[in-house]
Homo-oligomer: A and B are copies of this chain.
Amino acid sequence: MSELTTARLSVYLRCLESLDASGVNTVSSQGLATQFQLNAAQIRKDLAHFGEFGIRGVGYYVKDLKRHLRQILGLDRSIKVVIIGAGNLGVALADYAGFRLDGFDVVALLDTAREKVGQYSRSGVPIRHARELERLVEREKIDIAVVTVPPDAAQETVDGVVAAGIRAILNFSPVSPRVPPHVKLKNMDLTITFESLSFFLANGHVDP
């Protein structure tokens, strides 16, 4: 299943939540498409991969489809997250309000700096020593590790995360660590993102 498809499922879920909040009961793929600037055929095709959720001549029941999407995305339970690297970015992510709402539970921040261990983030996430990772994973059934350590520590951190049995990693450091095939690694490389924008500024405006 394509990355792009699953990202769109998230978008659809968000659209449906908005419609549901407005009291809308049913929506057609065409309705979704025009309201949220999507492609109707693509919506139908994306959804059809997972079952027949629509009713011909009617569309989709908003609440029904919402529930299906939540389940497909694995959001029908709390997802436990640990953040490794209690620097600016790590702590900011731990305190990011959006997560809690969407069922993501940041269990701990991990770091090796003596003066950070034992502290709490503003929103109350405890900072613990990185060596506790294995124990934490075992006891708390961690689902996702977020890596916000300096680039030269990224690969060893990721290795530790994999060894601890975590199968999904979100990496913010500007390197692409190696992971075994059963582990899903997603890189959020801010430098690449900024350089893309810079490229557009340098070249984008010239084209006819």
Contacts and interface: CB of A to CB of B under 8 A. Distances in A.
A3 interface: yes
B74 A202 contact: yes
Interface string A76-118: 0001010000001101110110110010100000000000000
A155 to B, nearest CB: 13
A53 to B, nearest CB: 16
A170 to B, nearest CB: 6
A67 interface: no
A174 B91 contact: no
Contacts of A96: 88-89, 190
Interface string A164-199: 000111100010000000101010111111111111
Contacts of A204: 167, 184
Contacts of A89: 92-93, 96
Given A201-B168, A202-B73, A205-B182, A196 B11 contact: no
A199 B72 contact: yes
Interface residues of A, number: 55
A19 interface: no
A188 B98 CA distance: 13
A143 interface: yes
A144 interface: yes
B74 A201 contact: yes
A16 B194 CA distance: 18
A168 B73 contact: no
Contact of A79 (B98, B194, B205): B194
21 contacts: A1-B199, A6-B196, A10-B191, A10-B192, A72-B199, A73-B198, A74-B198, A74-B201, A88-B95, A88-B96, A89-B93, A89-B96, A92-B92, A99-B190, A99-B191, A102-B191, A102-B195, A144-B194, A144-B197, A170-B193, A184-B197
